[in-house]
Structure 1
Amino acid sequence: MRAFLAIVGRDLRLGLRQGGDMLTLVLFFVIVATVLPFAIGPDRSLLARLAPAIVWVAALLAQLLSNERLFKSDFADGTLDVLRHGALPLEAVVAAKMLGHWILTGLPIIAATPILALMLGMDGTALGLAAFSLLLGTPALVAFGAVGAAVTVGLKRGGLVAPVLVLPLSLPVLIFGTGAMAPMVPGASGQAFLLLAALALAAVALIPFAAAAALRIAGE
């Protein structure tokens, strides 16, 4: 457990030293959610109906922007090779890096949600649903991003290929997250939240094994 927490702490320290990356992520999230209403127009009722989709599309695009840094620098400087031969299994290493990445990317996105609520005219209930759905769904986005980052870590243009791999995997998260914020029938919101939580738990539990296998292949 100490080694696991050490990897998380290391990634957090490195990420906080590069504070501009976190700020860029939050600004990108806010800008995407700000540009879309300009394309939709001044219809407030239409904007309120589309607000859940706007929030989740912005969150997905922001996560795609940050996924490449999950393993790229550690692969380039040989840190991953050292971790592969350490006492901690590579699957646990991947899980630790996913946790650190979520803290650095998922939490800032959730913290920036009130800004979007003001821009999109969301009330307090909608804001609460948005924050809670992002809290449940962003770990799954990070997990799927870890697979894409691991598969493309050895490619020169992996940053262009990874989003193509990650987007189809992330569509269920987008669907359930939007459904949790905008229920169409009574009880649908609760079901969407349960499905979103189940998907996030399954992704976080299983994907470290798939990402670790991809990293072993890339390191050979």
Structure 2
Amino acid sequence: MGTGAVMFAVLRRDLQAALRRGSEWSNPLLFFLMVCSLFPLGIGPERQQLAVLAPGIIWVVALLASMMATDGLFRGDYDDATLEQLLLSPLPLYPLVLAKTFGHWLVSGLPLSLLSPLLATILQLPSEGLAVLMVSLLLGTAVLSFIGAIGAALTVGLRKGGLLLSLIVLPLYIPVLIFGSAAVKSAIDGMAYLPPLAVLAALLMAALALAPLAIGGALRISVDQ
């Protein structure tokens, strides 16, 4: 089998497993929906106040929801020794890791991005920011998946590595959070929102090029321990 066929097989296997388990994609979505819906109750229904806070609220909750699904990214493959077989296969690890990370984004980041306009409406986000919010989340959650995959690879051999995973990835999430919320705020205020989106796109390109190498190295270290 060629590299492309193996990538597609790994991606299809991960998506089928996620759909069978259900919690892989439903828990982050339910968390995103519930937490965003609670903010109007806690802060109050004032339109102007919610509109000001909405970009930051949505981005912070999306970041946390994306991190919920990260710990199990390589856990199942590690437990059933599939991960060892992938590491021992003659195929390069880069495309295999890329396929698994892309599958993680499809079941976590993509649904969050598609659901964001509905929650933005609940939080009284002005219509000028809806499209920019979705685009920023599409770019940003992809970066979050790559960063989270690095942390998941480092902690895959630990039984209770959730807290350590959070400590590793949360500081690295901060630039994505800053530029993602800044793009939405700029669109609402009538300012240039393309520069923050361009930074997110640049971060995604850097993640595509470098993160799979770091993930592969972290997996080899974790499995060899």
Asked if TM exceeds 0.5, the reply is: yes
2:216 paired with 1:212: yes
Structure 2 partner of 1:159: 162
2:194 paired with 1:190: yes
Amino acid in the other structure paired with 1:201: M
> Deviation of residue 38 (structure 1)?
2.8
Equivalenced residue count is 219
Partners of 2:218 and 2:10 lie apart in 1 by: 19
Amino acid in the other structure paired with 1:160: L
**Structure 2: which 5+ residue stretches go unaligned?**
none
Partners of 2:120 and 2:82 lie apart in 1 by: 41
- Considering only aligned residues, what root-mean-square deviation do their CA atoms show, in Å? 1.4
Partners of 1:15 and 1:67 lie apart in 2 by: 12
TM-score, normalising length: structure 1: 0.95
SS at match of 1:211: helix
Partners of 2:5 and 2:65 lie apart in 1 by: 31
> Deviation of residue 70 (structure 1)?
0.5
Structure 1 partner of 2:52: 49
Structure 1 partner of 2:173: 170
What are the equivalent positions in structure 2 for 1:1-220 lying under 5 Å apart?
1-183=4-186, 186-187=191-192, 189-220=193-224
TM-score, normalising length: structure 2: 0.93
> Deviation of residue 185 (structure 1)?
7.2
Partners of 1:50 and 1:218 lie apart in 2 by: 40
> Deviation of residue 219 (structure 1)?
1.2
Partners of 1:41 and 1:198 lie apart in 2 by: 37
Amino acid in the other structure paired with 1:208: P
- Contact 1:114–1:127 (Cα < 8 Å) also in 2: yes
Q: Quick check: 201-210 or 32-41, which moved more?
A: 32-41
Amino acid in the other structure paired with 2:66: Q
- Contact 1:30–1:58 (Cα < 8 Å) also in 2: no
